[in-house]
Amino acid sequence: MVRDAGDFPLRVGDLVEDGVAWGYGPRRVTFDKILIDAATGSGAELRENFGVTGYVSDGGAMAGIRGRHPGGTEVEERAAITIGADGRRSPLAHAVRAQAYNEVPALLCYYFSYWSGVESEQFELYTRTAERRVIFSFRTEDDLYAIFVGAPMEELPVFQRNPEAAFLASLDLVPDFSDRVRAGRRAERFYGATDLPNFDRKPFGPGWALAGDAGLHKDPYLALGICDALRDVEWLASAIADGLSGGRPMQAALAAYELRRNEASSRDYDDNITMARFTPFRPEVLGLRAAVRNQPQQATAFTKAVMGGSWRERRLLHRSFQDLPCVAVAAQTEDPFPILIVLRRTNLRTERRVPLAPRIGAGARRRDRDAARSEMDLLFLEIVEGTSKPAIVDGGIDGFRGANVHALVRPAVLPQHRQHHFRVLL
């Protein structure tokens, strides 16, 4: 993998955990067949070329659908719950007037095609903040490479007038990559994706539920759509099973599903929008990239963590920095806390851990504490003169902003700082 933030290409390997790769790039027709085979193999009935023409209601609740095959007679099917996995412009969501929230209009348009004969890594991502472009490519079937260019919506007319010229001009922002693509051969026409709003949508109501893009949609910048859909549909299926079995009332089970979905996706949703707006990278991120540039193991750990790594992966990230030289970088940001990056955990002589709950309030809800615990990438420390028993709290900015967390940083690292709050990335 190659990730370039406009500073340099950071090359990363070994992105496999428990036999599963970081990402896969099948063509959609192949992926759809995998889903269909899995569904029918589990007992679902597949009706191909069947169009839904309307919905059936009973006493204010959704009770089923009406539809037909081409040229056939309209039929009615009733069910305890009707699920719409029918995309961002979901007809079911429209019919039940499902409320959207956290809405952000479409930020980027994307044009893409497929090339053969391109010398490329399995995945490459280039961000050009000043020029407001994102370029990424990945290997797919038949030894083809899918190559995408994302640009602000206001530049859509430029791409519509001449897709190839606008596309290649964007690739020229990364000369080496552009040369490699031009040495290959485009195997298909250009495709465009321009209807890409960002929103959460209420995913349930009496007799109905929404899955996938119908309930949550975002810009493709971080390529999270299908991943989130597969995750959420498992949770939705569990909630429906809970409701149908009488484990708890159906509406309560579905409300819990919505909460779980939102908690799991909120950070990625916000990060995705931030990146799609071409917000400049934070100095500490660029500094950390530079620090791991020639350290393959640390670069891999860093990449896994920042690309949505698990709690375990972030612990591994911390440990992997032990062999790096000590680096301290301070930078001001828009919030009142300066940033301190300390690479090399051994320079933070942390001898004990502070319980989470007291640091975010003894009365905090358990899910708030769990959410804070999962935000392992950023740690808060307060430098306090004379502290002899340093402590550290694992947690994120949202969970610990302003918390009194005491720690001692070895004077050789930052002898001039006392009585200040810092964000510390270990």
Write the DSSP string, 69-123.
-TTS--EEEE-S-EEE---TT-HHHHHHTPPEEEEE---EEEEEEEEES----SE
What the block records as the tokens of 2 is 């190659």
Rounded to an integer, the average pLDDT of 247-268 is: 94
Q: Is it the case that residue 108 has pLDDT exceeding 70?
A: yes
Local confidence band at 308 (pLDDT 50, 70, 90 cut-offs): low
pLDDT per position as a tens digit, 151-202 = 999 999 999 999 999 999 999 999 999 999 999 999 999 999 999 999 999 9
260 closest CA partner among 121, 145, 370? 370
Instruction: Please spell the DSSP secondary structure of 194-216, one letter per residue.
Output: ----EEEE--EETTEEE-GGGTE
For residue range 269-303, list pLDDT tens digits in order: 998 999 999 999 988 788 888 988 988 888 887 78
Query: Could you give the angle at the alpha carbon of 299 between the alpha carbons of 295 and 300, nearest 5°?
Result: 125
Tell me the C-alpha to C-alpha distance, in Å, between residue 279 and each of 108, 245, 274, 335, 342.
13, 47, 6, 15, 24
Stretch 353-357: mean pLDDT, rounded? 28
pLDDT at residue 355, as a whole number: 30
Give CA–CA dist 4/86, Å, rounded: 35
pLDDT at 112 over 60: yes
Q: Which tens digit of pLDDT belongs to each residue from 51-92?
A: 999 999 999 899 999 999 999 999 999 999 999 999 999 999
pTM of the model: 0.73
All residues at 6 or more sequence positions from 218 whose CB lies less than 8 Å from its CB, including other chains:
198, 224, 225, 268, 269, 272, 273
pLDDT at residue 349 above 50? Answer: no
The answer to whether residue 135 scores a pLDDT higher than 90 is: yes
User: Average pLDDT of the chain?
Assistant: 77
| Other CB atoms within 10 Å distance of the CB of residue 244 | 12
Q: Taking a C-beta distance cutoff of 8 angstroms, is the pair 138, 146 a contact?
A: yes
If residue 330 lies in a helix (H) or strand (E), which one and from where to where? strand 327-331
Identify the pLDDT of residue 347: 27
pLDDT of residue 296: 87
Domain ranges of the chain: 47-97+202-276, 108-193, 325-425
**Residue 40 reports pLDDT greater than 60:** yes
Closest CA relative to residue 280, chosen from 93, 5, 1, 54: 5
Are 319 and 341 spatial neighbours (Cβ–Cβ below 8 Å)?
Answer: no
CA–CA distance, 77 with 207 (Å, rounded to integer)? 13
From the candidate CATH numbers 3.30.70.1400, 3.30.420.40, 3.30.9.100, 3.40.1190.20, the one assigned to the domain spanning 108-193: 3.30.9.100
Does 216 have pLDDT greater than 90? Answer: yes
pLDDT value of position 133: 98
- CATH class held by domain 47-97+202-276: alpha beta
Indicate if the pLDDT at residue 343 is higher than 80. Answer: no
**Average pLDDT in the 378-391 region?**
30
